[in-house]
Each structure stands twice: as structure tokens, then as C-alpha cells.
Amino acid sequence: MNKAIVIGAGFGGIASALRLRAKGYSVQIIDKCERLGGRAQVFEREGYKFDAGPTVITAPFLFNELFELFDKSREDYVEFKAVNPWYQFYFADGTRFNYGGSIENTLNEIAKFNPEDQKGYLDLVKKSQEIFDVGFTQLSDKPFHSVWSMLRQIPALLKLRSDRTVWQLVSRHISNEKLRQAFSVQPLLVGGNPFNTTSIYNLIHFLERKWGIHFAMGGTGALVDALGKLMTEVGIEIKLGTEVRQLVVEGKQITKAVLADNSEVEADIFISNADPLHLYRNMLSSRSSNLLAKLKTKRAKLSMGLFVLYFGTTKKYADVEHHTIWLGKRYKALLRDIFQGDSLPDDFSLYVHRPTATDPSFAPDGHDSFYVLAPVPNLKANIDWRAEGPVLMKRIIDALERTILPDLKKHIVHEFYMNPEDFQREYLSEAGAGFSIAPLFSQSAWFRFHNRGEGPSNLYVSGAGTHPGAGLPGVISSAKVVDRLVPSPIRQVETTQPREVEVGV
Ligand SMILES: Cc1cc2nc3c(=O)[nH]c(=O)nc-3n(C[C@H](O)[C@H](O)[C@H](O)COP(=O)(O)OP(=O)(O)OC[C@H]3O[C@@H](n4cnc5c(N)ncnc54)[C@H](O)[C@@H]3O)c2cc1C
């Protein structure tokens, strides 16, 4: 058992490839995109640079570990810079809430909205830590493919009241409406509606508190490049611009992957970093997956779609923070329209990214580079994106000009956007969803797609649709689970920096 193929070079795929290489496999990673990184692509337009996807780095140790597998140091490849405030919330009435830094900083900000919520915030942090100690520390990198692994956790999950939603938990501790919104947005970062996402995801709150929020200098694209360099150094073969169309199963094992040009690649182990819905629906024949995978595929509830607008400005908006969460007038009703509606709402809430606040290399001198993300319904809704896309772009630019980016229309350059149809086409993401299946309790842990493939015995799955879930810490942890599950190779292939590995299955 020697060769492993990783299908998909998102962060979950890259982390899997590195872990299997360190384990002693010969590894090839294949992706249909022309660049590594999956959703973390990079766009460049005449001196302006845009990270296409993830921008917020949390839990930096998870990245460091990938370099340490080969006795290397992440700091020698890419610099992480702490960002403060972590986010600025901008509310529809023009008020702003700076979130981040020390607990005292946050308490002082809370006092501006409602001093009585200061005590509640301390309780919320304590509760988030309790959830984090179980949900992240104990469970995020452990396999959940056996029903016993789930049953064993039920008492702990009940004790933590995982049946409560993020919104319910936050509302128990915080009474000010705006603060409730600010402290409940985290599920949106992994594709969930705070009003039905299990409060287990409140662990993100403590994750941010524990390690802060960082930016990779040069952007997330620079982090991807650093991991690409590491992969090359340790002998991982990278094949880009190539889609894997089918996985051929003989007996109980996958024997080869069929590529878009009909050529075939054989291997002993296959790791899919594709959206599991695409994997089980389109890459495997229906005979090859088990009943559980079929059920999960049929009943899947997807995350929302994303409309991401990229643009440069010929001036600097120095008073706009690195990360702004721009909230519209409606919160609960807007989220309902996004997650359950059949059409594009007229209004929106936005995440505004201004990387030039931390790293001027993203734009020419004295200019800014921006990306603005609006959660929107995924392609299950009846939206004609060709007609609606330009209208939404105009509405977003108008709203930003009226609020945090005065004179935007005079200064905007190189504007373009991605809509859910682009996500479907570029990343083979089911219904163009931004984060694969939603983080509902009924789609978490054992109920989520398993990291041990649900069908062929030599298939493993990492990435947003698998345990523990979406977001960079989630998908990198999913590769750790895969590492635990994949047997050591029978014969190891030398890496440039060999690591001690157990021999034998
Ligand atoms: C706009 C946006 C902003 C985000 N912001 C953040 C953030 O700030 N912080 C954070 O932690 N998370 C963020 N996320 C979430 C995070 O980016 C994702 O959850 C994570 O990157 C997904 O990684 P993945 O391993 O699932 O792979 P993906 O990124 O989904 O990549 C999978 C790759 O596999 C390829 N592929 C699929 N099928 C095949 C096939 N058959 N053959 C070949 N290739 C195939 C796809 O083309 C793709 O390149 C954001 C996501 C988006 C979209």
C-alpha cells in the first residue's frame, strides 16, 4: 500500500496530502482549478489583489502543525499578523461596535450599548469555553464514523444543551438586540443560520478569544503558496486544471480515478476533498456508496450561497477596519429569506474585507482593495443570477456609499463578482452553496458525512461537508481525522525529511 490520491486542493485536501506524505505515502493531489487552495483562489487586476474566499485566520497552531510534520517552521514560509479589532460591527443606525482584543476592551464596548450586559458577556464567554473544551479540544479531530462514537458523546452534548440554538444561548446572556446580533453571527462564518444552528458552534466564540484573529501577510493566497511550496519540497505531486470525473470501484475498493480527458490514475488510497454531495452523487456509481451516504445525500440541508463583490478604490478609506460586519435593518427575517426563501431579498447584510488596512501590498500606493460578501439564497432558490447579479452589485455599492465608503462611485475600479453559479461551476459545490451542508445538529458529528468513506473501503473524505465542518480550522481538523483513520503504508516512500512512522497496517 503506497500511493494516495487526493482529489481537491482546498485546505482540507492540502492538509490531507501533507499528512499522508508524512505518514510515508507517495501522494498526488489533483484539482480542477488552475491554482491550489480551493475556495481560497486569488484574483489580480492591474495592481489590485483580492483573496477570493477565506480571509480570517483563527487557531494558527493548526497551520503550524502542517509544517512541523516535516520539522519545518511555518514562520519561515509565511507571516501571520494579529488583527485588532477582530471585527467592527456597523449597525443600520450608524452605531459601531468594536469586537476583539482583551475581555476589558470588549466589556468597555458593551458598556456603550448596555452596561447590564457586561456580566452576561462574562457568562457567555465561560459557557463558550465549556463548549469549546468538548466540541473543539476533545472532538474536532476525532473520528465519528461509528454510531457508538456518537452515543458516547450524547451525555456531554445534552449537558452542554446542544439542542439550544446559537441565538437562544446568546439571548440567555445578552439582552441588547444589537449585541445579540453581534455575538450570534459566528454560524454564518461556517454556513449556518444562527436561529437554527446548534449552540455547539458557540465554540467559535472561545476559539477567537483563545488565539485571536490573524491575517496571513500577502493574503490567504500567500498561505496557500507557502503550503504549495512545502508540498513540492516534500515530494507531493501536484496536478492542477484537472477534474476527476469518476472513481472506479472493483469489489469493495476504488482502483482508479478517471480524469476529464479519460486518462486513468491508479492508487491504493483515495481521499476526496470534493463536496461530499458531488462525490456521492456524481463521482461514485450509486451501487458504490452505502445506504447512510444515500440518505444523507437525499436529505441534505445546504448552507447559503454567497455573492462576493471585489473592487479597488483610487483612494484609501483609512477609517474602515480590516474586517467590518455591516448589518442591515432586518436580522432574523433576512436570515429566514436567505436560508428558506425562494427569491433574492431586496436588502442584505455584508462582510466587508479591507486587506489594505493590514497589508498595503494588496493595492497600488494610496489605494484600497476590497471584497464585500453578502449571504444570499443558494441555487435551490429561483433566482436568475444573470439578471439579478448586476442589480445586487449596484445596490451594494449604493448602500456602502451612503454609509462607510462615501464617494465610492467616484473612486471604484475593477469591480467584478462571484455568485452561487460561479461556486457551482468553479468548485463543483452542490447548488453553489458556500460551505457545503449546513451546520445543523442533525448534520453534525456522526450525522455529517463521515471521514471514512461511506462505501469503498479505501476511500476517505476531508473538507467542509465532513466532520467537524466548514471553516479553515474545521477542514484542517478533518485532515487530522483522516490521518488517524488511514493505515500506515506497507512500504514507505522516502520524504526529503523523513519522519518516524509506524510500519504495518
Ligand atoms: C467567500 C468565503 C469566505 C470565507 N471566509 C472564511 C474565513 O475568513 N475564515 C475561515 O476559516 N473560513 C472561511 N470560509 C470557509 C472556508 O474557506 C471553507 O470552509 C474551506 O476553505 C473549504 O475547504 P475544503 O477543504 O472543504 O475545500 P474547498 O475550498 O471547497 O476546495 C475543494 C476543491 O476541490 C476541487 N474539486 C472538487 N471536485 C473535484 C473533482 N472531481 N476533481 C478535481 N477537483 C475537484 C474544487 O474545485 C476545489 O478547488 C470562507 C468561504 C468562502 C467561500
* pLDDT (tens digit per residue) in 289-304: 999 999 999 999 999 9
Q: Which pLDDT belongs to residue 501?
A: 38
Q: Is 32 in the pocket of ligand 1 (CB under 6 A)?
A: yes
Determine the residue of 34, 259, 283, 472 to mutate for testing ligand 1's pocket, defined as the one with the most ligand atoms within 8 A of the Cβ atom.
472
Residue nearest to atom 17 of ligand 1 (CA): 54
* Phi and psi, residue 48, nearest 5°: -100, 135
Mean pLDDT, the chain, whole residue set? 95
Q: Are 201 and 186 in contact (CB under 8 A)?
A: yes
Give pLDDT tens digits for 325-369: 999 999 999 999 999 999 999 999 999 999 999 999 999 999 999
Sheet harboring 237-239: ordered strands across?
237-239, 26-30, 3-7, 269-272, 459-461
Q: Which pLDDT belongs to residue 498?
A: 44
Q: Which pLDDT belongs to residue 78?
A: 98
Give residue 165's Cα distance to chain centre. Answer: 20
Domains of the chain: 3-81+216-300+441-485 (3.50.50.60)
Q: Which pLDDT belongs to residue 412?
A: 98
Confidence grade of residue 495 (pLDDT, cut at 50, 70, 90): low
Read off the pLDDT of each residue in 375-392 and give the average, rounded to a whole number.
98
Q: Which pLDDT belongs to residue 159?
A: 84
The alpha carbon of 174 and the centre of ligand 1 are apart by a number of angstroms equal to 33
Q: Which pLDDT belongs to residue 154?
A: 80
Whether residue 5 has pLDDT greater than 60: yes
Whether residue 160 has pLDDT greater than 90: no
CA dihedral 32, 68, 479, 10 (to 10 degrees): -20
Q: For ligand 1, what atom is nearest to the CA of residue 14?
A: 25
Q: Is 207 in the pocket of ligand 1 (CB under 6 A)?
A: no
Residue nearest to atom 18 of ligand 1 (CA): 471
CA dihedral 290, 293, 298, 301 (to 10 degrees): 170
Give pLDDT tens digits for 254-295: 999 999 999 999 999 999 999 999 999 999 999 999 999 999
What's the grid cell of residue 92? 443600520
Whether pTM > 0.85 for this model: the answer is yes
Give pLDDT tens digits for 166-218: 999 999 999 999 999 999 999 999 999 999 999 999 999 999 999 999 999 99
Whether residue 87 has pLDDT greater than 50: yes
3-state secondary structure 317-338: CCCCCCEEEECCCCCHHHHHHH
Q: Higher-confidence residue: 490 or 313?
A: 313
Whether residue 500 has pLDDT greater than 60: no
Q: Are 476 and 61 in contact (CB under 8 A)?
A: no
Q: Which pLDDT belongs to residue 266?
A: 98
Confidence grade of residue 2 (pLDDT, cut at 50, 70, 90): very high
Confidence grade of residue 499 (pLDDT, cut at 50, 70, 90): very low
Element (H, E) at 27: strand 26-30
Element (H, E) at 401: helix 385-402
Which of 30-44, 340-354, 481-495 has the least mean pLDDT? 481-495
For 137, residues 6+ apart whose C-beta sits below 8 A from its C-beta are none
Whether residue 94 has pLDDT greater than 60: yes
Read off the pLDDT of each residue in 482-496 and give the average, rounded to a whole number.
81
What's the grid cell of residue 127? 459557557
Give pLDDT tens digits for 111-147: 999 999 999 999 999 999 999 998 899 888 989 888 8
